[in-house]
Amino acid sequence: MNLLIFGCGYVAQYLLPHAHATGWTTVGTHRKALGHAADNASAMQQGLLHRTVVFDGVHPIAADVLAEAEAILVSVPPATTGTAEDRDPVLQAHHDLLQQASNLRWLGYISSTSVYGDRGGDWVDETSPIAPQSPPGIARARAEAEWQTFAQERNLPLFVFRSAGIYGPGRNMLERLAAGHSAPAHKPGCFVSRIHVDDFVAALLAALCAPSAAGVYNLADDEPTPTADVASFAAQLLGLSAVDGSRPTSLIALHTLTPHTSLGENRRVRNSALKALLGHDLRYPSYREGFSSLLKNLKQSS
């Protein structure tokens, strides 16, 4: 089948080999012709990416690309100005073309757990009412609604993946600390949910193979944890005696964390639906297993 990925970025790097191995022909979009050129060339040389096209967020891509697509995965974020003008750029540019895409059989939209807003550390699941407070959360919630309306109009299965913070090779606190950088800004006692990119990709692959399971899924691991605790664990793995992440960063005052960003929002995200979709537990149920695996890769590459 033909899979069109709007926003061929970090997750797509890990999705493409598995999609190719299971028979998918993939087309990916990038914002600029030169953007991610090295990744594009590498993927195309390996036969993982059939074609790349430019989507600048405003002008639609070629109609023939949409006409051939049987599955569409959207990871392009909406604008986050915090105004009513924020709309999903893919739908805004392609609504009429998508209405005419007769081969389309599957839709996937990568959203964010920021749609839940601040819950004071309480647990949320897919049945929890969304209550976004930050501009990113509000924009994501609006985009989700737009895609749900479109899917209903076309009678298509829609998967909404509400993603926690994604980490993996090249994007993790181990490499950040090992390079001498400080831990990310955090609010003391604030729970943060995260997921390893391998488990994220496993969820996408499972969903592509099971359109009847369409719905909303939280993509998060089993153990929401304050950033300071994660930073301390990473420091221990690296043999560091201390890390800046053990205290609030002085670079960003805590009072600036909201409403301008969702960084200070405190919630714990359940993943029971994700495990049901996968049919098994996560490969990396917490940051401990994930970081331990990443440390091996880090040592091998050094």
Is 264 contained in some domain? no
Is-contact 90 150, C-beta < 8 A?
no
Q: What is the pLDDT of residue 186?
A: 77
Overall number of domains in the chain: 1
Average pLDDT, the chain: 88
Write down the pLDDT at residue 42. 64
Length reported for the chain: 302
- Give the Cα separation of 164 and 200 in Å (integer): 10
142 in a structural domain: yes
pLDDT score recorded for residue 45 = 52
Residue 216 has pLDDT above 70, yes or no: yes
At residue 107, does pLDDT exceed 70?
Answer: yes
Whole-number pLDDT of residue 262: 59
- How far apart CA 11 and CA 222 sit, in angstroms, is 20
Cα–Cα distance for residue pair 202/144, rounded to 1 Å: 21
Q: Give the CATH number of the domain where residue 116 resides.
A: 3.40.50.720
Residue 274 lies in a domain: yes
- 156 in any annotated domain: yes
Question: CB 15: neighbour CB atoms within 10 A?
Answer: 26
**pTM for the structure as a whole:** 0.90
Instruction: Please write the tens of the pLDDT for every residue from 250-296.
Output: 333 333 333 334 567 999 999 999 999 999 999 999 999 999 999 98
When computed from its CA atoms, the radius of gyration of the chain, rounded to whole angstroms, is 19
How many Å apart are CA 54 and CA 61, to the nearest integer? 7
Distance CA 141, CA 167 (A): 23
CB of 272 within 8 A of CB of 220? no
Label residues 212-224 b or e (16+ Cβ within 10 Å = b): eebebbbbbbbbb
In sequence order, what are the beta bridge partners of 218? 162
pLDDT at 258: 36
Q: Is residue 76 included in any domain, yes or no?
A: yes
113: containing domain: 2-167+195-219+270-284
Asked if the structure places residue 139 within a domain, the reply is yes
The answer as to whether 253 is a domain residue is no
Residue 144 lies in a domain: yes
Q: Any idea which residue has 């959360």 for tokens?
A: 137
pLDDT bucket at 84, cuts 50 / 70 / 90:
low
Say what the pLDDT of residue 82 is.
62
Residue 41, pLDDT > 70, answer no
